[in-house]
Structure 1
Amino acid sequence: MSWIFGAINANDCLKKLNESTKNNITYSTNELPISVYVGGNLHTCFFDNNISTKKGWAVVGLGIIENSSGYKLLDKADWEIILEKDSFNTKDIYGHYVILRWNENNLNIYTDVLGLRDIYISKFHNKIFFSTRIDWLAKFIDTTIDFKVFGSRWMLFNQISPESVLTNTLRIAGGSSLNIDIKKLEWKQSKNEFIPLNPKEHSYISVKEFSERLNGIIRVSFNNNSNLSLSLSGGMDSRVLLSFLVKDGRNNLWDTHTFGNINHPDSIISDKIAQQLNITHQKIDREIPSVNDCINELTEYCSQTIVNNSASSILQLNNYQLLRNWGNKTIIDGGFGEIWRREFFNRLYLKGKSSLLRRDYENVLPQLKLHRADIFTDEINNSMYKGCKEQLENIMEVLPNIEEFGIENWLDLFAIKTRLLNYYGHEQTRLDSIIKSYMPFIQLPLLNYLFITPIKLRKNGKLFRELIHNNSNHLSKLWLAKGSTSHPFALTTIQSRLWNSLSKKLNVNQYHDNTSVMFLKYLKEFINDTLQSKNAQESGFYNYKKIEIILDYFNTNSNTKIYELDWLLSFEVFRKVKFDK
């Protein structure tokens, strides 16, 4: 990632930091009681070169502003103009970023409103440490996993709380800012959160208004003289983005790419689209690295993303590594497009609506559950469940009244406040280490329209289907990919689910993915050494009899517990990275 690490009253931390960064530091200052180090992808980190004065600034991420000619990606000169002002509003700066600005007396930290980049801070004795890398920070302080916070991350669809999963650390994210008094070693936190427009107080927007706003956000790369590359899948969301690019007509300014196995429905359908439209399209399927490289990449991934995905997921996600030589190119993708199709938390809407309205948390939580692996002690499981319940209670106190806001709108806001912050943000941070990228569907100028877009237009992808028809009707003739299969474009959400369910039962048009089995067997020696180690057995976190059962299945070539092993490995790698000091 593009990263920041810093400290107050700890100028001797550079040697230990170098062990983590491998000397990949592009900017540093030790002139004040404050030390600041910045590194990573030069396209997503910016800093003040004038270190002779007793002030400075640094930014990691990608900022976007709106000006008279449209939208613009912020370069160093733009950031300099913004940060030279006495004050600014992060709601006027879109994209994803962490900003540091300091002088002799104060250090100020700002984060983007939606929570796509975050930073952690901890006071340890008479020192303060802060970093966008939670794993690096953990090596300088006394900390452990806070399972009451981590619980929703492990037991539910995603973490609910905006808090840090490590004890003795404060997470700054989601529009939060922090003012630190350098001399007193005290801080004050402020919030500048995303506040949705109330549909009862505003007129609904038209499809045309939405289309014009989205088109402007997609074209931001053109305005920066940077080539654009669309991550094209076989799904609905990337097809909407493609329809705008096709309609624009300037094919020399953009291309497309698809990650993964060429036999996957995503790859097959995107290839058909590219051939029929005669557009430049690159299929990217990285060969599996050596065992040592896999272990190193897994360690880096889990430490950055806090067990966002199972271990084997790195084979697909690390296809992005092949984009490192793409230079000034900007990637866009359809991430979080589901929010415009009313696709989040539908199980809760269908099965737990009455419980949600009654604030019956015991019956709401089962509708948010996602099983990963049963590996922990009863004490930790109880702590995690208690934390899940408390986090759900807390966010319901913060979000608008369900009855007044409408339950479907409420669920979408719940997704914005929890899933963006705790899943998409970690993935975006990781991508910042490789290339410039952003997700058009969640930029503030567009997202402000969400709740004044009629629900009936959002459901069943009606809005997106209309946009595709209007922009490039040919794209509505081609099937859509969904998971391991595909279905006709015209099917509604329920119809497509029935189609896919029937296809699976009949084993028709199915792609069988054995990636997790292949990956775990490839790392068999590492897995056994790691999970059978004294460190793992004595960690105090695990019910080790459950670990032994999972390993027994694995070592007798049974795939019965392969899913749980995949998640177990992800957690254990994360645990070891944090606490092997």
Structure 2
Amino acid sequence: MPGIAGIISGQPDEKNVGHLKDMIRCMVHEPFYTSGTYINPYLGVYAGWTCLKGSFADCMPVFNETRDLVLIFSGENFIDNDRIHYLKRKGHAFENSDASYLIHLYEEEGDRFYKLLNGFFRGMIVDLRNREIVVFTDRYGMGRVYYHDEGDQFLFSTEAKSLLSIRPELREISPKSLGEYFTCGCVLQDRTLFSNVFVLPGGSAWSFQNGKELKKDSYFEPDTLENQPVLEKETFYEGLREALHDVIPRYFRPDGRIAMSLTGGLDTRIVLAYGNNRPGELPCYTFGSVYRDSFDVCRAREIAKMFNQQHIVLPVGKEFLSDFPAYAERTIYISDGCLDIIGSPELYINQIAREIAPIRMTGNYGSEVLRNVRTFKAVSPLEKIFHPDFLRDIDDAFENFRSIGREHELTFTLFRQTPWYGYGRLAMEQSQLTVRTPFLDNDLVALAYRAPPGIAGTDEFALRLIADGNPALRRIRTDRGIGGNSNYLSSIFSRSYHEFLFKSEYYYNYGMPQWLAKIDYAFRPLQLERWFLGRHKFHHFRVWLRDELSEFVREILLDKRTTSRPFLNKDFLEEMVNSHIRGHGNYTVEINKILSAEMIHRLFIERK
């Protein structure tokens, strides 16, 4: 995926050049990537990058006028035009549409530069005057950087596989991390699945001099936001509305073709309501099911028509399933195991979406910022599937998660849930196109911390914002039956009806009870999935793993390599697989996790 990689070494070594090339080679996943290197053996820096052709960062490396400052940057930055004009007035020459201005911003602002950045990114500054190197990440850590510190060498990369490719001794799974993976869906606290590979914390600016670590600085801490005074309700709302007017247009800057990933929910409506897009300039698409037009598709089509924009449905069906093993393997490989195989439709759909436009505008993280929605939980896995000795790591994962969950609610959601639990999906999306969302903008998040009590978990402000931005949008109900102009009783009925269908689909898919799975299988000739599925979700893995993907499941999970894993209970694993495929039970969640863990072992530990 687009990113950076490098070796910082106290001793010049020709081997580092070859190792760097190997690291970069691991990160080039598509023919539309560009890549390059910057090598300065006198400073002990061997660095490289990959990026999407024509993207914001497709201009690396960038230098200041005297060429004694160098920047390698991956990601995007959304800065006020006033600051760009300020740099022009200072006499700096650069392209407004790419990242070339950033080195001049650093030259003018020094260490304050990092706090001024606004977006998902990672980068490296090489200061030839002071013989200093700084590796930095965005404040959330969404621009992930993996690292391995050997004392005399510091290895870093956007992709963990880059480090494994040149240090085979790092190919070792941490039992502690694996316990968290099964329990929490991700690894916690800036650790990784690999025992001696770690992640730079969000807001890091780590400096090196003469090839050795100098300081592990942090330019941002969430408590600077937590300590702000709370605003009165209407003052907060007015501030939020004004912020959206200022913030959202930044993300529609004219530096490439943009398409809107449009849903039937509230957050993409807010983006459209304040985006000021002209008719016909913003194609929209919605992910769809093979069974029917979902509520997402129906509402999004209506919204796109209102704005006179093209609307396209991107279904996930037979074409995806026919090549599922390849999509599953690439999903695990590209995301370094951070996204499981049930996330593989993201790869398939974003490949198609890139053909529409290379930039995908989303409403991602809107519910987290505006309504503090928390989806990150520790869930007890089925104990029978594991060896008794491994259950200690499962218990430790629960305890660790509980201790983290005591933080400030919004801090937990934005600075733990988002970069830990949500990173895998973003990594997969970014491997195919540039993904944007205005909802983690610095200004908007700072304001969200000042929300008065009682706002979290409600739709009140979101509906008001939509109505103020575009009253017609408020009149269209969401995919969950929220909104519209009906009377109170009609609104209650609509919401209850949509909620019933939402839960019915869940219980027919991932959440089907074991006893009901047998009844459903007995009525298989009636194809009941056509009655229950597709109204809210576009992928249906309980049925797919039982039917279309059953041979793939058997081939991987009943293979001797899988059944001999020391953390698994071989006998129950075989019983579980056969039960699900024969329709005697529902083990969708368990099969997904075990399949994903097995592919992680095969791709990263055993593959040479």
Which of 418, 421, 425 is equivalent to 2:419? Answer: 421
Which of 11, 15, 26 is equivalent to 2:17? Answer: 11
Q: Distance in 2 between matches of 1:49 and 1:393?
A: 43
Which of 335, 357, 365 is equivalent to 1:336? Answer: 365
Note the 1:278-357 alignment, pairs <5 A. 278-285=308-315, 288-289=318-319, 293-305=323-335, 307-316=337-346, 318-326=348-356, 330-345=359-374
Kindly provide the CA deviation profile for residues 183-223 of structure 1, in whole angstroms up to 9, marking residues without a partner as x.
3x435322222331435466664423212211222212444
Aligned partners of 2:135 and 2:206 also within 8 Å: yes
Which of 282, 292, 295 is equivalent to 1:254? Answer: 282
Aligned partners of 1:110 and 1:177 also within 8 Å: yes
Give the superposition deviation at 1:500: 4.3
1:189 aligns with 2:219: no
1:516 aligns with 2:541: yes
Q: For the structure 1 residues 125 and 539, does the alpha-carbon distance in structure 2 shift closer, same or farther, using more than 3 Å as the test?
A: farther
Give the superposition deviation at 1:523: 4.0
Note the 1:66-215 alignment, pairs <5 A. 66-68=80-82, 75-85=98-108, 86-102=110-126, 105-124=131-150, 126-141=152-167, 142-143=169-170, 144-156=172-184, 160-183=188-211, 185-186=212-213, 188-191=215-218, 192-194=220-222, 195-198=224-227, 200=229, 205-215=235-245
Q: Distance in 1 between matches of 2:369 and 2:472?
A: 22
Which of 370, 373, 380 is equivalent to 2:379? Answer: 370
Q: For the structure 1 residues 214 and 378, does the alpha-carbon distance in structure 2 shift closer, same or farther, using more than 3 Å as the test?
A: farther
Q: For the structure 1 residues 164 and 106, does the alpha-carbon distance in structure 2 shift closer, same or farther, using more than 3 Å as the test?
A: farther
Q: For the structure 1 residues 160 and 311, does the alpha-carbon distance in structure 2 shift closer, same or farther, using more than 3 Å as the test?
A: same
The one-letter code matched in structure 1 to 2:359 is T
Which of 232, 243, 247 is equivalent to 1:217? Answer: 247
SS of residue in 2 equivalent to 1:441 = coil
SS of residue in 1 equivalent to 2:202 = coil
Q: Distance in 2 between matches of 1:69 and 1:222?
A: 18
Q: For the structure 1 residues 53 and 277, does the alpha-carbon distance in structure 2 shift closer, same or farther, using more than 3 Å as the test?
A: closer
Q: Distance in 2 between matches of 1:532 and 1:20?
A: 30
Q: For the structure 1 residues 25 and 292, does the alpha-carbon distance in structure 2 shift closer, same or farther, using more than 3 Å as the test?
A: farther
Query: What corresponds to 1:358 in structure 2?
Result: none
Kindly provide the CA deviation profile for residues 88-143 of structure 1, in whole angstroms up to 9, marking residues without a partner as x.
43221111000112357443111001221110111348543211101222233323
Stretch moving more, 369-378 or 253-262: 369-378
Query: What corresponds to 1:37 in structure 2?
Result: 48
SS of residue in 2 equivalent to 1:99 = strand
Q: Distance in 1 between matches of 2:337 and 2:248?
A: 31
Query: What corresponds to 1:360 in structure 2?
Result: none
Give the superposition deviation at 1:171: 0.9
Q: For the structure 1 residues 107 and 527, does the alpha-carbon distance in structure 2 shift closer, same or farther, using more than 3 Å as the test?
A: farther
Give the superposition deviation at 1:370: 2.9
Which of 554, 573, 580 is equivalent to 1:547? Answer: 573
Aligned partners of 2:2 and 2:51 also within 8 Å: yes
Q: Distance in 2 between matches of 1:74 and 1:150?
A: 42
Q: Distance in 2 between matches of 1:489 and 1:82?
A: 46
SS of residue in 1 equivalent to 2:586 = coil
Q: Distance in 1 between matches of 2:389 and 2:25?
A: 35
Q: Distance in 2 between matches of 1:281 and 1:468?
A: 20
Give the superposition deviation at 1:550: 2.1
Stretch moving more, 27-36 or 500-509: 500-509
TM-score by length of 1: 0.81
The one-letter code matched in structure 1 to 2:296 is D
SS of residue in 2 equivalent to 1:455 = coil
Q: Distance in 1 between matches of 2:441 and 2:187?
A: 22
Q: Distance in 2 between matches of 1:30 and 1:166?
A: 28
Where relative contact order (Cα < 8 A, 6+ residues apart) is larger, the structure is 1
Which of 262, 278, 282 is equivalent to 1:232? Answer: 262
Aligned partners of 2:580 and 2:587 also within 8 Å: yes
Q: For the structure 1 residues 179 and 199, does the alpha-carbon distance in structure 2 shift closer, same or farther, using more than 3 Å as the test?
A: closer
Give the superposition deviation at 1:422: 0.9
1:64 aligns with 2:78: yes
Q: For the structure 1 residues 163 and 15, does the alpha-carbon distance in structure 2 shift closer, same or farther, using more than 3 Å as the test?
A: closer
Q: Distance in 2 between matches of 1:44 and 1:519?
A: 39
1:564 aligns with 2:590: yes
SS of residue in 2 equivalent to 1:118 = coil
SS of residue in 2 equivalent to 1:480 = coil
Q: Distance in 1 between matches of 2:194 and 2:356?
A: 35
Kindly provide the CA deviation profile for residues 163-193 of structure 1, in whole angstroms up to 9, marking residues without a partner as x.
333221231131122123443x435322222
Give the superposition deviation at 1:234: 0.8
Give the superposition deviation at 1:488: 5.4
Kindly provide the CA deviation profile for residues 68-95 of structure 1, in whole angstroms up to 9, marking residues without a partner as x.
2899986132223234454343221111
Query: What corresponds to 2:390 in structure 1?
Result: 380
Q: Distance in 1 between matches of 2:182 and 2:206?
A: 28
Query: What corresponds to 2:520 in structure 1?
Result: none
Q: Distance in 2 between matches of 1:236 and 1:206?
A: 19
The one-letter code matched in structure 1 to 2:196 is N
Stretch moving more, 132-141 or 439-448: 132-141
Which consecutive residues of structure 1, in runs of 5 or more, have no partner in the other structure? Answer: 347-366, 400-409
Q: Distance in 1 between matches of 2:192 and 2:504?
A: 45
The one-letter code matched in structure 1 to 2:48 is Y
Q: For the structure 1 residues 80 and 53, does the alpha-carbon distance in structure 2 shift closer, same or farther, using more than 3 Å as the test?
A: closer
The one-letter code matched in structure 2 to 1:542 is L
Query: What corresponds to 1:455 in structure 2?
Result: 453
Q: Distance in 1 between matches of 2:325 and 2:83?
A: 47
Q: For the structure 1 residues 330 and 98, does the alpha-carbon distance in structure 2 shift closer, same or farther, using more than 3 Å as the test?
A: same
SS of residue in 1 equivalent to 2:470 = helix
Give the superposition deviation at 1:497: 7.2
The one-letter code matched in structure 1 to 2:285 is H
Aligned residues: 542
Q: Distance in 2 between matches of 1:80 and 1:431?
A: 27
Q: Distance in 1 between matches of 2:492 and 2:440?
A: 25
Q: For the structure 1 residues 505 and 249, does the alpha-carbon distance in structure 2 shift closer, same or farther, using more than 3 Å as the test?
A: closer
Kindly provide the CA deviation profile for residues 39-89 of structure 1, in whole angstroms up to 9, marking residues without a partner as x.
231315342166997863311111111232899986132223234454343
Give the superposition deviation at 1:473: 1.8
Q: For the structure 1 residues 181 and 575, does the alpha-carbon distance in structure 2 shift closer, same or farther, using more than 3 Å as the test?
A: farther
1:48 aligns with 2:61: yes
Aligned partners of 1:255 and 1:279 also within 8 Å: yes
The one-letter code matched in structure 2 to 1:177 is A
Q: For the structure 1 residues 381 and 75, does the alpha-carbon distance in structure 2 shift closer, same or farther, using more than 3 Å as the test?
A: farther
Give the superposition deviation at 1:29: 3.1
